[in-house]
């Protein structure tokens, strides 16, 4: 059984590992108190005709890319077939929304409560980039982080995005 790892799977893993390094992002605002979560449970936004479903992959930081890939495909399929169970959409600590497959360059998602943040992923675009002083064709992708300022400040959000960027540009570093 061949497992195909998608770029989305790499981003999910990059976020999971980054969330272990930036606990403020993996938190919730509850009764005027910030609750930092020990578990990393990532909801994946799945578009269906009636709106949006957010199945949750639990303990993503402890899973490999092939397991993340298999669970994402299974949960997204259940969501599209309207067979997702309520408990499969509970307990998220962070959400990812990817509209890249629709050709959307960039967008800002609305935070999936009670999460403190949501990452929006745009499409991958080939364009000229400068590498070692030379102009070459490279792949670029825009990601946007929306976060609750009661739990996350701008500098913390920027540091998290830097970590995600480093991991997605060099995935081997997040597997070490």
Alpha-carbon span 26 to 12, nearest angstrom: 14
3-state secondary structure of 87: helix
126: which strand partners? Answer: 139
What is the token pair recorded at 126?
Answer: 């080939």
Alpha-carbon span 16 to 40, nearest angstrom: 6
> What's the full length of the chain, in residues?
176
Q: Can you list the alpha helix ranges (DSSP code H) found in the chain? A: 7-21, 65-80, 154-169, 172-175
Q: Which amino acids are annotated catalytic?
A: 149
Among 11, 12, 46, 30, which Cα is nearest to 151's? 30
């Amino acid at each position: 059984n061949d497992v195909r790892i998608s770029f989305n799977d790499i981003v999910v893993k990059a976020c999971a590992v980054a969330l272990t390094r930036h606990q403020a992002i993996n938190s919730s605002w509850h009764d005027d108190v910030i609750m930092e979560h020990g578990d990393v449970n990532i909801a994946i936004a799945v578009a269906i005709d009636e709106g949006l479903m957010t199945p949750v992959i639990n303990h993503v930081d402890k899973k490999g890319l092939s397991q993340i890939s298999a669970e994402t495909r299974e949960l997204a399929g259940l969501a599209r077939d309207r067979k997702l169970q309520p408990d499969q959409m509970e307990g998220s600590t962070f959400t990812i929304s990817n509209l890249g497959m629709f050709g959307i360059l960039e967008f800002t998602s609305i935070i999936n409560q009670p999460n403190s943040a949501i990452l929006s992923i745009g499409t991958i675009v080939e364009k000229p980039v400068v590498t070692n002083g030379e102009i070459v064709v490279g792949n670029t992708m825009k990601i946007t982080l929306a976060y609750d300022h009661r739990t996350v400040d701008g500098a913390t959000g920027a540091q998290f995005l830097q970590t995600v960027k480093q991991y997605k540009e060099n995935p081997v570093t997040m597997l070490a």
